[in-house]
Amino acid sequence: MFDDTEKSLPARPGVGYKPQHFRDIGQAPGPLGWLEIHAENYMGDGGRPLAQLRHLSESYPVSVHGVGLSIGSDGPLDRAHLARLRHLCDWLAPASFSEHLAWSTHDRGFLNDLLPLPYTERTLALVADHVAEVQDTLGRQMLLENPSSYLAFAESTMRETDFLADVVARTDCGLLLDVNNVFVSATNLATSPQDYIAAFPTEFVGEIHLGGHDEDEDEHGAPLLIDSHGREVADPVWALLDITLARTGPKPVLIEWDTDVPDWPVLVAEMVRAESSLQAVR
């Protein structure tokens, strides 16, 4: 079990922090309730990025989101990377830590993508072992995020929602529910996003993420969505958020915008819309 006296994220809108918004956050934060950083951007030993982060953490709870652990990799976790992550968490004492149900390494190679994995008993045991190792090393609970998918593995023997529930049961981790990922995967795999939310173990959700996606089509002319984080949240994803919050109640809701980063007022408008959805379930 983990220390439940640790800081927690408020059930309010948050935003992925970008240094170009440092001054705006101080002057016109809007409904901002918390911030998220990507762990790998803050693993140095000092300098302006860490000084700014320290300053912001005095006013806002911070969520640390990792993108480099490769939880679903067939090989062992990178112990040096994990040690740097522990150093950051010990220094910052974040309100939350999360990573992806995905893999990005093979042997000594590293891929700049978060790739899905088949859902089998073998990969379940592998992921559970890795999640347990991360939690033991950090001394804190982690949230595991559902991926965005572009294909389904023929060898999968269980639903993604059941896989995540089993990881929780084996490790006592929590879950990060990315609603945009649900919509992207459901569109690409021709399944129902509403059915996915209905089957999701929402009692373990610690954070909800929203982001923008790009629209394309595959070689057969079928819709193909790309999880780009480079534009505003789409209307069907907002609608899916409302369905999700009706099941979970108020939760911390993050606006992710990592490419083609807009001016701060654009992000404030997205947070205002998220706050409206949260108000409806309070």
Summary mean pLDDT of the chain = 94
Does pLDDT of 27 surpass 90? Answer: yes
DSSP three-state, residue 134: helix
0.85 surpassed by pTM: yes
Helix (H) or strand (E) holding 265: helix 264-279
What is d(CA 158, CA 127) in angstroms, rounded to the nearest whole number?
14
Q: Which residue has the tokens 């559902």?
A: 146
Does pLDDT of 198 surpass 90? Answer: yes
How does DSSP assign 33-92, residue by residue?
-EEEEEGGGG-SSSSHHHHHHHHHHTTS-EEEE-SSS-TT-SS---HHHHHHHHHHHHHH
Percent of the chain residues past pLDDT 70, beyond the cut: 96
Q: In the chain, what are the helix, strand and coil shares in percent, each to the nearest 5?
A: 40, 20, 40
Closest CA to 140 of 64, 208, 37, 51: 64
Q: How do 109-115 and 103-106 pair as beta strands?
A: antiparallel
Closest CA to 145 of 174, 184, 103: 174
User: Binning pLDDT at 50, 70 and 90, where does residue 37 land?
Assistant: very high
What is d(CA 156, CA 94) in angstroms, rounded to the nearest whole number?
35
Does pLDDT of 207 surpass 80? Answer: yes
Sorted by where each starts, the structural domains of the chain and their CATH numbers stand as 13-280 (3.20.20.150)
Does pLDDT of 192 surpass 70? Answer: yes
Does pLDDT of 91 surpass 70? Answer: yes
- What does the pLDDT read at residue 219? 84
